[in-house]
Structure 1
């Protein structure tokens, strides 16, 4: 039986007995340099409060990073953070600075011949055939997902695309932007090669595989939800390669969604990636799934990190079906807890969070819905684990895209719960 720890969401600061609401917002605001700066941003359209929607999160020490993709015009800053333990509705602080999140106007840029196209959502218009010149390599255009690795580095997957649902403009090729969290300085920016992207590519997520004893030997796994592929980046070699496989495609029977009263269809391919702990042989299992799918797959990181084998036509059987999560179990994000061996994942069609203990076969009987709320968890978009705490971001994305959000209601929430409390009493415990 499904175990529900959320019976209702009547209280504003907690869900059920244990899942806590750490932050919530009706609309996002920022720590502006001064009042004149904000006033000018409102006047010019550089900041339109209703167009700023949080989507991804990551935790490092007392900082909780929050991404605000440039779905629409008027996003003030795409890469931001708040301090854990601050006000319930804190203003976002751009990272590493306001200057790095500033997009130059058309008068300040030079058009170039772009080598990339963008997909956005299925009904979004194609991007303009212009590429703007970035101020410098620390410039952050538009971020969906990001990752904090065990070497105190922040990996940012920058799509390079702004105003996705309006008049899309490509500012730069998709790239990884890597910061040193100890100094807040840029370590490296890597622009993906032409061979890494396809016509409908959309690179928006990143997961980093690294042993903290060998920080230079890190690999980033970047799923292509629009082009149905996976791009691997080697930090040591400063090089990347693209992998294709049938399992990266969406399931045509799992593309139907109904969230917050909105009916829609998505054809998103591989998006969620999670890493097991390092096994006795020094390898990891890499779990992955398409967003529009109810199945989970896996492959050894040994396969992905060997460019010759990963890109060959003979690796098909190295990719394995893990199992089936069950009906309406489409997941926008997943995260593997190394200590407990439990895989947590969002449940966008079920307004919830679910779990699976990897010591058991994956099937509907061995998965559990640990949290569900049509109000508080309307479209749980991202989740991460840090210091044995599960963090979840929900943001009502379908209403934001297809309808509109009310500034009189709480629209965005970040919740947390201790991992042990989350699985206690469930089949995952």
Structure 2
């Protein structure tokens, strides 16, 4: 094990010297998150009654559609102004510059939880996904104050918006018997037919209950997929991020889809949070709602899931995304302050992955990556380890969003070869 860890460190020392940090253009940065309240008075009232506590608002996920940059803000603690917000990329004032105020999405009313029974409320969004039909998909656990009293606002649900008009297209309430008290939605990915927007699935990872939820829009039905590979690896539950050492036991979190394969289906790649391995399964398998997924003795189905490879020690990843044109995967390496890439034509191993960027300051806790419809890679870092364990320094920059064209990102890496 000691030799393996040393090999890992040497590998990243070498690749770091080749990495150009300037590849990533820093688009936005914040010391602390603020919102575009309707008026100064309403903001002051919100702060006074503690419905808005700026220090408790943390960026987590991102997505881009045309001129809208969507961001999610999980309700880790109280005082969350909105769990889903956006930035209008075409209208950013010179005064705000690189630290614009966030606009609740789709409006303030959706996040007013004082009357949770009125309208389609949003309480807890972790990550989000926009499909090629221009629909924004979010999974909402319905629980706030996650690190405290865990108050339930509403039933867990999937909500779909028209990203162009901001209209609510669909709300699917997830049956209570499909989740448990520990359920925590890590990621959501939409899988949509290239020719028919109605033929769509959503895959939602539950990192605490070690499950994958599959929702069919056409059937308006959901089923729960279970597998051994969704669980954490005991030897990968130790994290060292910056000067913070902690232990987590989170299961399946990062999920991403390959381009369509010859059989018309895609490959769903996934990894548990506390793991250094990448796994895969054909969407042909998980779209089959006749399988008894609760059976732990289904050998035929067990072998439909594959182990793709191992990244190496202390290379846990929070999430991944795949460029639909090249098929290249981009992902975070939490303990390495790194954004990495993998070309499926290469072996998935220490030497088979490339480094896009690595920086212990600006990429401290890289938390989300997305490739938009124009082939631009977007990256978000948020120093979440400090927020959870040691406290953030709000006189310093804590949140950053970067971008880089995919072809520039992979230039000079092993991901560009073959």
**TM-score when normalising by structure 2:** 0.91
Match of 1:81 in 2: 86
Match of 1:10 in 2: none
Equivalent residue for 1:340, pick from 326, 336, 347? 326
> Following the alignment from structure 1 to structure 2, what is the Cα–Cα distance between the partners of residues 348 and 322?
20
Instruction: Assess if the C-alpha contact under 8 Å between 1:388 and 1:418 holds in 2.
Output: yes
Instruction: Assess if the C-alpha contact under 8 Å between 1:174 and 1:203 holds in 2.
Output: no
Question: Are residue 391 (structure 1) and residue 360 (structure 2) matched?
Answer: no
**Runs in 1 of length 4+ with deviation above 6 angstroms?**
none
Query: Would the alpha carbon gap of residues 223 and 134 (structure 1) be closer, same or farther in structure 2, given more than 3 Å must change?
Result: same
Q: What residue ranges of structure 2 are gaps of 5+ in the alignment?
A: 1-10
Aligned-pair distance for 1:63? Answer: 0.5
Equivalent residue for 2:127, pick from 139, 145, 160? 145
Residues 374-413 of structure 1: matches in 2 within 5 Å? 374-386=360-372, 387-413=374-400
Task: After superposing the two structures, state which structure 1 stretch, 295-304 or 190-199, moved more.
Answer: 190-199
Aligned-pair distance for 1:182? Answer: 2.3
Instruction: Assess if the C-alpha contact under 8 Å between 2:126 and 2:185 holds in 1.
Output: no
Q: How many residues align?
A: 394
Residues 86-165 of structure 1: matches in 2 within 5 Å? 86=92, 87-104=97-114, 133-137=116-120, 139-165=121-147
Residues 29-428 of structure 1: matches in 2 within 5 Å? 29-84=34-89, 86=92, 87-104=97-114, 133-137=116-120, 139-309=121-291, 311=293, 313=298, 314-386=300-372, 387-428=374-415
Instruction: Assess if the C-alpha contact under 8 Å between 1:257 and 1:264 holds in 2.
Output: yes
> Following the alignment from structure 2 to structure 1, what is the Cα–Cα distance between the partners of residues 340 and 192?
26
Q: Secondary structure at the match of 1:36?
A: helix
RMSD (Å), alpha carbons = 1.5
Q: Secondary structure at the match of 2:291?
A: helix
Q: What residue ranges of structure 1 are gaps of 5+ in the alignment?
A: 8-14, 109-132
Instruction: Assess if the C-alpha contact under 8 Å between 1:209 and 1:220 holds in 2.
Output: yes
Aligned-pair distance for 1:58? Answer: 0.4
> Following the alignment from structure 2 to structure 1, what is the Cα–Cα distance between the partners of residues 150 and 18?
39
> Following the alignment from structure 1 to structure 2, what is the Cα–Cα distance between the partners of residues 49 and 142?
17
Instruction: Assess if the C-alpha contact under 8 Å between 1:351 and 1:377 holds in 2.
Output: yes
Aligned-pair distance for 1:345? Answer: 0.5
Instruction: Assess if the C-alpha contact under 8 Å between 2:241 and 2:335 holds in 1.
Output: yes
